[in-house]
Amino acid sequence: MSHDPHVTSETNISAYFERVFRSARRGYMPVHRYDLSSSGAPGVFARNFWTSVTTPLRDQTGHLYGALHHAENLTSIVESIWESGLSSPAGLTMDQQTWNFLVTTLAREVLAHQQARRNAEQLQHALTSRIFIEQAKGMIAAREGISIDQAFARLRQHARRHNVPLHDVARAVVELGLSV
Protein backbone atom coordinates (compact mmCIF):
# COMPACT_ATOMS: atom_id res chain seq x y z
CA MET A 1 0.00 0.00 0.00
CA SER A 2 1.54 3.29 -1.06
CA HIS A 3 1.20 6.43 0.99
CA ASP A 4 0.41 9.73 -0.67
CA PRO A 5 2.25 12.43 1.32
CA HIS A 6 -0.35 14.99 0.23
CA VAL A 7 -3.25 13.08 1.82
CA THR A 8 -3.51 13.84 5.51
CA SER A 9 -6.16 13.37 8.18
CA GLU A 10 -7.11 17.00 7.63
CA THR A 11 -7.67 16.51 3.89
CA ASN A 12 -9.75 13.38 4.56
CA ILE A 13 -11.89 15.20 7.15
CA SER A 14 -12.29 18.23 4.88
CA ALA A 15 -13.40 15.98 2.02
CA TYR A 16 -15.86 14.24 4.36
CA PHE A 17 -17.48 17.52 5.46
CA GLU A 18 -17.63 18.80 1.86
CA ARG A 19 -19.36 15.57 0.80
CA VAL A 20 -21.91 15.87 3.62
CA PHE A 21 -22.65 19.53 2.88
CA ARG A 22 -22.89 18.99 -0.88
CA SER A 23 -25.20 16.00 -0.60
CA ALA A 24 -27.35 17.58 2.15
CA ARG A 25 -27.48 14.12 3.74
CA ARG A 26 -26.19 12.81 7.05
CA GLY A 27 -22.64 11.49 6.89
CA TYR A 28 -20.87 8.82 8.90
CA MET A 29 -17.13 8.54 9.35
CA PRO A 30 -15.57 5.07 9.47
CA VAL A 31 -15.69 3.23 12.78
CA HIS A 32 -12.69 3.90 14.94
CA ARG A 33 -11.54 2.50 18.26
CA TYR A 34 -11.29 4.86 21.22
CA ASP A 35 -11.10 3.12 24.58
CA LEU A 36 -12.59 4.61 27.74
CA SER A 37 -11.34 4.15 31.26
CA SER A 38 -13.28 1.64 33.30
CA SER A 39 -15.10 3.05 36.29
CA GLY A 40 -13.40 2.32 39.57
CA ALA A 41 -10.31 0.78 38.01
CA PRO A 42 -7.51 3.29 37.46
CA GLY A 43 -5.42 2.52 34.40
CA VAL A 44 -7.92 -0.05 33.08
CA PHE A 45 -9.59 0.76 29.80
CA ALA A 46 -12.62 -0.78 28.13
CA ARG A 47 -12.59 -1.30 24.38
CA ASN A 48 -15.00 1.08 22.62
CA PHE A 49 -15.82 1.72 18.96
CA TRP A 50 -17.29 4.94 17.65
CA THR A 51 -18.45 6.66 14.52
CA SER A 52 -18.75 10.38 14.01
CA VAL A 53 -22.04 11.53 12.53
CA THR A 54 -22.61 14.87 10.82
CA THR A 55 -26.04 16.22 9.94
CA PRO A 56 -26.17 19.35 7.78
CA LEU A 57 -28.60 22.00 9.05
CA ARG A 58 -30.45 23.96 6.40
CA ASP A 59 -33.12 26.64 6.55
CA GLN A 60 -36.41 26.57 4.61
CA THR A 61 -34.69 27.88 1.49
CA GLY A 62 -32.06 25.14 1.60
CA HIS A 63 -29.24 27.45 2.73
CA LEU A 64 -26.68 25.64 4.87
CA TYR A 65 -26.31 27.42 8.21
CA GLY A 66 -24.47 24.83 10.28
CA ALA A 67 -24.04 21.19 11.15
CA LEU A 68 -24.73 18.90 14.07
CA HIS A 69 -21.71 16.72 14.67
CA HIS A 70 -21.62 14.03 17.33
CA ALA A 71 -20.14 10.63 18.11
CA GLU A 72 -22.17 7.45 18.41
CA ASN A 73 -20.90 4.50 20.42
CA LEU A 74 -21.02 1.37 18.24
CA THR A 75 -19.24 -0.98 20.64
CA SER A 76 -22.17 -3.39 21.08
CA ILE A 77 -22.76 -3.49 17.32
CA VAL A 78 -19.09 -4.09 16.48
CA GLU A 79 -18.87 -6.81 19.13
CA SER A 80 -22.03 -8.44 17.72
CA ILE A 81 -20.43 -8.47 14.28
CA TRP A 82 -17.35 -10.15 15.74
CA GLU A 83 -19.47 -12.68 17.65
CA SER A 84 -21.22 -13.61 14.42
CA GLY A 85 -17.97 -14.97 13.04
CA LEU A 86 -16.23 -11.92 11.60
CA SER A 87 -13.64 -11.99 14.34
CA SER A 88 -11.05 -9.63 12.92
CA PRO A 89 -9.90 -8.12 9.66
CA ALA A 90 -6.79 -10.30 9.80
CA GLY A 91 -8.95 -13.41 9.49
CA LEU A 92 -10.69 -12.12 6.38
CA THR A 93 -9.48 -11.55 2.86
CA MET A 94 -9.87 -7.78 2.94
CA ASP A 95 -7.71 -4.84 3.79
CA GLN A 96 -8.24 -2.57 6.81
CA GLN A 97 -10.04 0.09 4.75
CA THR A 98 -12.52 -2.46 3.40
CA TRP A 99 -13.02 -3.88 6.92
CA ASN A 100 -13.72 -0.38 8.28
CA PHE A 101 -16.19 0.25 5.45
CA LEU A 102 -17.96 -3.06 6.14
CA VAL A 103 -18.26 -2.44 9.88
CA THR A 104 -19.38 1.17 9.35
CA THR A 105 -22.01 0.10 6.82
CA LEU A 106 -23.33 -2.67 9.06
CA ALA A 107 -23.38 -0.34 12.06
CA ARG A 108 -25.28 2.30 10.09
CA GLU A 109 -27.86 -0.29 9.08
CA VAL A 110 -28.26 -1.46 12.68
CA LEU A 111 -28.63 2.14 13.88
CA ALA A 112 -31.20 2.87 11.17
CA HIS A 113 -33.12 -0.27 12.12
CA GLN A 114 -33.05 0.65 15.81
CA GLN A 115 -34.30 4.16 15.02
CA ALA A 116 -37.06 2.80 12.79
CA ARG A 117 -38.13 0.45 15.58
CA ARG A 118 -38.19 3.33 18.11
CA ASN A 119 -40.24 5.44 15.66
CA ALA A 120 -42.71 2.58 15.13
CA GLU A 121 -43.07 2.10 18.89
CA GLN A 122 -43.66 5.83 19.40
CA LEU A 123 -46.24 5.91 16.59
CA GLN A 124 -47.99 2.86 18.02
CA HIS A 125 -48.08 4.47 21.47
CA ALA A 126 -49.47 7.70 19.98
CA LEU A 127 -52.13 5.76 18.08
CA THR A 128 -53.12 3.76 21.15
CA SER A 129 -53.26 6.94 23.23
CA ARG A 130 -55.37 8.66 20.61
CA ILE A 131 -57.81 5.73 20.49
CA PHE A 132 -58.31 5.84 24.28
CA ILE A 133 -58.75 9.60 24.20
CA GLU A 134 -61.35 9.41 21.43
CA GLN A 135 -63.22 6.60 23.19
CA ALA A 136 -63.18 8.49 26.50
CA LYS A 137 -64.45 11.67 24.83
CA GLY A 138 -67.35 9.73 23.31
CA MET A 139 -68.20 7.98 26.59
CA ILE A 140 -68.13 11.23 28.60
CA ALA A 141 -70.18 13.09 25.98
CA ALA A 142 -72.81 10.33 25.88
CA ARG A 143 -72.93 9.86 29.65
CA GLU A 144 -73.09 13.58 30.48
CA GLY A 145 -75.07 14.78 27.47
CA ILE A 146 -72.38 17.26 26.44
CA SER A 147 -70.44 17.97 23.23
CA ILE A 148 -67.25 16.15 22.26
CA ASP A 149 -65.31 19.40 22.75
CA GLN A 150 -66.72 19.79 26.27
CA ALA A 151 -65.88 16.17 27.04
CA PHE A 152 -62.30 16.72 25.90
CA ALA A 153 -62.07 19.85 28.05
CA ARG A 154 -63.15 17.80 31.09
CA LEU A 155 -60.56 15.11 30.33
CA ARG A 156 -57.84 17.72 30.00
CA GLN A 157 -58.92 19.54 33.19
CA HIS A 158 -58.91 16.31 35.18
CA ALA A 159 -55.47 15.38 33.87
CA ARG A 160 -54.03 18.80 34.75
CA ARG A 161 -55.70 19.01 38.15
CA HIS A 162 -54.35 15.59 39.18
CA ASN A 163 -51.04 15.93 37.32
CA VAL A 164 -51.69 12.74 35.36
CA PRO A 165 -51.00 12.20 31.65
CA LEU A 166 -54.09 12.68 29.49
CA HIS A 167 -53.70 9.17 28.08
CA ASP A 168 -53.87 7.66 31.58
CA VAL A 169 -57.04 9.59 32.44
CA ALA A 170 -58.67 8.54 29.16
CA ARG A 171 -57.70 4.92 29.74
CA ALA A 172 -59.20 5.03 33.26
CA VAL A 173 -62.44 6.46 31.83
CA VAL A 174 -62.64 3.68 29.22
CA GLU A 175 -61.43 0.70 31.28
CA LEU A 176 -62.45 1.65 34.83
CA GLY A 177 -65.43 3.91 34.28
CA LEU A 178 -63.74 6.93 35.86
CA SER A 179 -66.06 9.92 36.02
CA VAL A 180 -64.50 13.29 35.26
Banded pLDDT at 110 (limits 50, 70, 90): confident
- Can you say how many angstroms the Cα of residue 101 is from the centroid of all Cα atoms in its chain? 21
| Residue 99 covered by a domain | yes
The pLDDT > 70 percentage for the chain reads 85
Q: Rg for the chain (alpha carbons), in Å?
A: 26
pLDDT at 143: 94
Residue 25 gets the label, from left (phi > 0), alpha (psi -120 to 50) or beta, of beta
Q: What is the pLDDT of residues 112-142, one digit of tens each?
A: 888 889 999 999 988 888 999 999 999 999 9
pLDDT at 9: 72
Domain of 37 in residue numbering reads as 9-73
Number of separate domains in the chain: 2
Q: Is residue 102 located within the same domain as residue 164?
A: yes
| Residue 55 covered by a domain | yes
On whether the CB atoms of residues 166 and 155 are closer than 8 A, the answer is yes
pLDDT at 5: 57
Q: DSSP letters of 92-151?
A: TTS-HHHHHHHHHHHHHHHHHHHHHHHHHHHHHHHHHHHHHHHHHHHHHHHHHT--HHHH
Q: Is the pTM of this model over 0.75?
A: no
Query: CATH code at 164?
Result: 1.10.10.10
